[in-house]
DNA sequence: ATTACCTTTGACCAGTTGGTTAAACCAAAT
DNA sequence: ATTTGGTTTAACCAACTGGTCAAAGGTAAT
């Protein structure tokens, strides 16, 4: 399509992202990827030997893109309140601009639950470190002894699901595109508020 | 596979559900569905003319199964607290037992956002009625003037996402299958508690 | 000009896919 | 016994799919 001077290999990867993200592994066609990159189909096989290889490259890029930033925020020096606000704000924005990414990743994880650990390591993601990080911060700043896992999943759920469920929400509530965008904009403040109010609730209970 | 006495057409539909749910539209093969039903491939085309038709039948069944119960609970006579507890309890259980369903439906909605409205009507689901139902109950029982849409989506997010993201959670936190099951069990009480604490937070602010 | 090396292509292939068709099967009605 | 109607099957097909391969293009060094 574009006649930029980008080397072929990179154009192929970009084309592959576009196609795989939208149509998934089974729905994607090597021919379509080649066309999208403005390149002969054989060249795709020249750089990436097989469809599997190409898909893996695309998947890894997507996974890193999403998890890298997540990591960055959660291990930053911010206090827990700002951290939650930053996290939600960033993800609601980023995901609603790349609304195909999260579902693509989830589907990929279902198909290949095997090779993920090496991707975790590549992104310097350790389950234990993450859990400990959250636990300590919740304990020190909020003085709460609650399971960090549920909190973390709750934050993730409230940020990610509404983006994944875009078409469902649009249908259930009958929203126009404009109204939907406004809805996501609202969530950037609504979600942190909701979470912090809940956490405050635990605090009150505990210190009674 | 099974040699039950169920009539062929029904066996085909059941087989189609199994295959489509796990592999999606593009990944599913008519031959595999036929094999799973213990039937010749031509018979599948005899009852459902095309793959598209068969998929539509499967999708509609899945959508009704999930949305029907959702509707039932939200329009029941329960007070808002019990309603949330019932809803979360039911969905966490149901979805973790049918963990392929929600992702299947979300994928389907992305591919065919068109024909959903008739399904909504078939399930007697009206956006306005649902919104009004929540708004009134939140207003009357909790004395809160907050946007029912965000609350509703929050409840849905906290119930559905952790199930969809099963493989992701297992990887991020390095959980065994046993520990994961316990995690879902915990959520049946943790999630309603989290939501109600948040709502209580709004209450305190407003009545100050 | 020739070599050498990487890139790019068109032609081709074996296996698979959704779908068709004509014939066989089978139970109930005549 | 034969007809009738819906059910089930085997054989077949055209289109498509991921992948291969030998040849052509291009470019820098010799």
pLDDT one-digit tens code per residue, B10-43 = 999 999 999 999 999 999 999 999 999 999 999 9
pLDDT tens by residue, A18-55: 999 999 999 999 999 999 999 999 999 999 999 999 99
Q: For chain A, give the secondary structure using H, E and C.
A: CCCCCCCHHHHHHHHHHHHHHHHHHHHCCHHHHHHHHCCCHHHHHHHCCCHHHHHHHHHHHHHHHHHHHHHHHHCCCCCHHHHHHHHHHHHHHHHHHCCCHHHHHHHHHHHCCCCHHHHHHHCCCCHHHHHHHHHHHHHHHHCCCCCHHHHHHHHHHHHHHHHHCHHHHHHHHCCCHHHHHHHHHHHHHHHHHHHHHHHHHHHHHHCC
Contacts of B157 in chain A (CB under 8 A): 157-158, 160-162, 165
Domain ranges in chain A are 1-49, 59-206
Chain B residues 1 to 30 whose Cβ lies within 7 Å of strand D are 7-9
Contacts of B182 in chain A (CB under 8 A): none
Asked if A152 and B169 count as a contact pair (C-beta separation under 8 A), the reply is: no
A130 touches chain B (CB under 8 A): yes
Q: Tell me the percentage of chain A whose pLDDT exceeds 70.
A: 93
Decide if B125 and A172 are in contact by the 8 Å CB cutoff. yes
A137 touches chain B (CB under 8 A): no
Contacts of A134 in chain B (CB under 8 A): none
- Give the minimum alpha-carbon distance from B112 to chain A in angstroms, rounded to a whole number: 10
Q: Please report the DSSP string for chain B in residue order.
A: -------HHHHHHHHHHHHHHHHHHHH--HHHHHHHHTS-HHHHHHHSSSHHHHHHHHHHHHHHHHHHHHHHHHTSS--HHHHHHHHHHHHHHHHHHSTTHHHHHHHHHHH--STHHHHHHHTT--HHHHHHHHHHHHHHHH-----HHHHHHHHHHHHHHHHHTHHHHHHHHT--HHHHHHHHHHHHHHHHHHHHHHHHHHHHHHT-
Nearest nt to the A51 alpha carbon by C1' = D18
Question: pLDDT grade, residue A111 (50/70/90)?
Answer: confident
| Model pLDDT, residue A138 | 84
Output the distance from A8 CA to C9 C1' rounded to whole Å.
14
What average pLDDT is seen over chain B?
Answer: 88
Please list, residue by residue across B75-95, b when 16 or more beta carbons sit within 10 angstroms of its beta carbon and e when fewer do: eeeeebeebbbbbbbbbbebb
Give A50's Cβ-side CA count (13 Å radius). Answer: 3
Q: Which of A107, A149, A158 sits opposite B103 (nearest CB)?
A: A107
The Cα B191–Cα B185 span in angstroms is: 11
Q: Which residue is closest to B28 within chain A, CA to CA?
A: A26
- The answer to which of A33-42, A120-129, A152-161, B185-194 has the lowest mean pLDDT is A120-129
- Give the minimum alpha-carbon distance from B27 to chain A in angstroms, rounded to a whole number: 5
Contacts of B183 in chain A (CB under 8 A): 149
* Residue A35: C-alpha distances to residues A4, A11, A52, A57 (Å): 15, 11, 18, 19
> Which of 179-198 (B) contact A at CB < 8 A?
183, 186-187, 190-191, 194-198
What average pLDDT is seen over chain A?
Answer: 88
Give the mean model confidence (pLDDT) for residues A58-75.
88
A41 touches chain B (CB under 8 A): no
B75 touches chain A (CB under 8 A): no
Asked if A90 and A163 count as a contact pair (C-beta separation under 8 A), the reply is: no
| Model pLDDT, residue B133 | 85
Q: Tell me the percentage of chain B whose pLDDT exceeds 90.
A: 55
The protein residue nearest C9 (Cα–C1') is A40
Tell me, rounded to whole angstroms, the distance of Cα A71 from its chain centroid.
11
Tell me, rounded to whole angstroms, the distance of Cα A77 from its chain centroid.
22
Nearest nt to the B40 alpha carbon by C1' = D9
Domain A1-49 maps to which CATH number in 3.40.640.10, 2.60.40.10, 1.10.10.60, 3.30.1330.10? Answer: 1.10.10.60
Q: What is B62-206's CATH superfamily?
A: Tetracycline Repressor, domain 2 (1.10.357.10)
Give the residue, B55 or A66, on which the prediction is more confident.
Answer: B55
Q: Verify if strand C has an atom below 7 Å from the CB of B28.
A: yes
Asked if B66 and B87 count as a contact pair (C-beta separation under 8 A), the reply is: no
Q: Verify if strand C has an atom below 7 Å from the CB of B45.
A: yes
Q: Which of A109, A187, A196 sits opposite B150 (nearest CB)?
A: A187
- For the stretch B83-86, contacts whose Cβ atoms lie closer than 8 Å and that sit 24 or more positions apart, written own/partner, are B83/B137, B84/B155, B84/B192, B84/B195, B84/B196, B85/B192
Tell me, rounded to whole angstroms, the distance of Cα B118 from its chain centroid.
18
Which of B26, B92, B158, B168 to mutate to test binding with chain A, by most A CBs within 10 Å of its CB?
B168
Decide if B107 and A109 are in contact by the 8 Å CB cutoff. no
The Cα A127–Cα A131 span in angstroms is: 6
- Give the minimum alpha-carbon distance from A207 to chain B in angstroms, rounded to a whole number: 15
Q: Is A7 exposed, middle or buried (0-12, 13-18, 19+ CB in 10 A)?
A: exposed
Q: Which of B109, B158, B196 sits opposite A154 (nearest CB)?
A: B158
Q: Verify if strand D has an atom below 7 Å from the CB of A7.
A: no
Q: Does B3 have pLDDT greater than 50?
A: no
Max mean pLDDT among A64-68, A144-148, B97-101 falls in B97-101
Give the residue, B78 or B12, on which the prediction is more confident.
Answer: B12
The Cα A142–Cα B32 span in angstroms is: 54
* Residue A62: C-alpha distances to residues A151, B23, B30, B92, B104 (Å): 25, 21, 31, 28, 21
Q: Does B78 have pLDDT greater than 70?
A: yes
Architecture of the domain spanning A59-206 = Orthogonal Bundle (1.10)
Residue carrying structure tokens 């389907």: B108
């Amino acid at each position: 399509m574009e006649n930029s001077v980008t080397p072929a290999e990179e154009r192929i990867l970009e084309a592959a992202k576009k196609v795989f993200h939208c149509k998934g592994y089974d729905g994607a066609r090597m021919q379509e990827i080649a066309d999208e990159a403005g390149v002969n189909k054989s060249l795709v096989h020249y750089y990436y030997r097989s469809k599997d290889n190409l898909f893996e490259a695309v998947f890894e890029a997507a996974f890193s893109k999403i998890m890298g930033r997540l990591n960055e925020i959660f291990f930053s020096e911010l206090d827990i309140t700002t951290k939650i606000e930053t996290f939600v704000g960033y993800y609601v924005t980023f995901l609603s601009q790349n609304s195909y990414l999260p579902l693509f990743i989830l589907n990929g994880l279902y198909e290949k639950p095997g090779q993920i650990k090496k991707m975790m390591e590549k992104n310097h993601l350790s389950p234990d470190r993450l859990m400990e990080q959250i636990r300590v911060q919740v304990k020190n700043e909020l003085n709460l002894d609650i399971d960090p896992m549920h909190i973390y999943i709750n934050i993730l759920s409230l940020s990610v699901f509404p983006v994944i469920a875009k078409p469902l929400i649009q249908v259930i509530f009958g929203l126009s595109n404009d109204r939907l965008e406004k809805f996501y904009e609202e969530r950037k403040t609504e979600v942190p508020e909701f979470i912090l109010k809940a956490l405050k609730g635990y605090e009150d209970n505990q210190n009674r």
